[in-house]
Amino acid sequence: MSDRMAAPILDIASLSVAYRGAAGWTPVVRGIDVRLEAGRTLVLLGESGSGKSVTLRSIVGLLRDEGARVEGEVRVGARNVTTMSDPELRQLRGGRVGFIFQEPMTALDPVFRIGDQIAETIVRHRGTTWKCAMGMAKELFELVQIPSAARRLSAYPNELSGGLRQRAMIAMAMSCEPELLLADEPTTALDATVQIQVLLLLREIQKERGTSMVFVTHDLGVAAEIADDVAVMYAGQIVEHGSADQVLLTPRHPYTQALTRCVVRGSYRDAALGELGGAPPDLGRLPAGCSFAPRCVRRADECLLAAPEPCEVAPSHIVACLRAADMAATPTGEFQES
């Protein structure tokens, strides 16, 4: 137990991912470092195409099946995922690492009963009998607060609402008591009210079981709700990394600052909402200097020349910006309240 506390549950070191496109390899993730200590929740925050979902998938080696080129190292516990054999990966997936997908509509097999889909995971990883696994599935349904669990277990996915399906998905991901839970925008496809319920449930289970979690989202409100640590991704790189308070309340990277200004907050109805001009760069043709420089309001000339190295602006608060030192922390308001 003690060495698990010492070693991070997740350690990603200079991970790069590229996909083969029409004109050679297109980088999607460009040299990121992430460490997550056991029991904590890291939120990967970013726009679509920033590489956050790809990073998440790389943790269980799912990119291998997609023909992507992966460089760098991903360690779960003490084990290197990038060098694992296929059978070892299959042990890891669903066993030590649970995965929750964005679309509960399409992420469950439509022709299998929900209960069977959970039970098959349990049988696979825990080697129990089918009957025993169904019993455990029922307990899991109670854990994720699905009413009339027994009846819902024998339902098909199309017979459940989106919220219930996502709860079933959480039950499935938690079924083998994973040390690490990976959640890919699990609330994005849900109604706003259901979003909050699912989010609270996820946080509750995670705290109760001491599971570590990596949570991908583009929603700052969701991030504020669930994160211990936040890593902001832009164009395949982490531009700012720190505790939730550091990143969301006192952001030091101009991109994070711009994002936090784009959120509707509190009750001032007529206040102007910030906006972020321009669009994310084409990953196939990245600018020479800082990727964010073309859109940055605080751009200096040197930003266009050299890519910034990550530097620590406060304990464990890392920012990749040449002007990070000049970016006096500008308070952005009461995020935790929103």
Partner 1 sequence: MLFYAVRRLLYAIPIGIGVTFIVFSLVHIAPGDPISALLPNEATQEMVEQARREYGLDQPLLVQYATWLGHAARGDLGTSIGSGRPVASEVAGAVGNTVILAISAGLVACILGFLLGIVAGLWRDRPVDHIVSLITISGVSIPHYWLAILLVIVFSVDLNWLPPLGIGPDSSGGWRPDWPHLSHLILPTIATAAIPMAVIARTLRASVVDVLDQDFVTTLRAKGLLPRRVLWHVIRNALPTALAVMGLQLGNMLGGSVLVETVFAWPGTGFLLASAIFQRDLPLLQGTMLVLSMFFVLLNLIVDLVQSWTDPRIRRA
- Which residues in this chain contact partner 1 in the complex, by CB under 8 A? 60, 62, 65, 89-95, 99, 101, 103, 106-112, 120-121, 124-125, 156, 158-159, 172
Q: Determine the 3-state secondary structure of 9 from DSSP.
A: coil
Nearer to partner 1, 75 or 93 (CB): 93
Least Cβ distance, residue 143 to partner 1 (angstroms): 18
Q: How far is CA 113 from CA 31, 93, 134, in A?
A: 41, 21, 11
Note whether 186 and 166 are within 8 A (CB). yes
Nearer to partner 1, 4 or 113 (CB): 113
Least Cβ distance, residue 191 to partner 1 (angstroms): 20
Least Cβ distance, residue 99 to partner 1 (angstroms): 4
Least Cβ distance, residue 183 to partner 1 (angstroms): 12
Nearer to partner 1, 156 or 338 (CB): 156
Note whether 247 and 241 are within 8 A (CB). yes
Number of Cβ within 10 Å of residue 155's Cβ equals 17
Least Cβ distance, residue 169 to partner 1 (angstroms): 8
Query: What is the rounded distance in angstroms from the CA atom of residue 194 to the CA atom of residue 166?
Result: 10
User: What amino acid occupies position 179?
Assistant: E
Q: How far is CA 2 from CA 6, 80, 212, in A?
A: 6, 20, 16
Nearer to partner 1, 161 or 316 (CB): 161
Say which DSSP state 291 is in.
Answer: T
Nearer to partner 1, 95 or 287 (CB): 95
Q: Where are the beta strands (DSSP E) in 113-178?
A: none
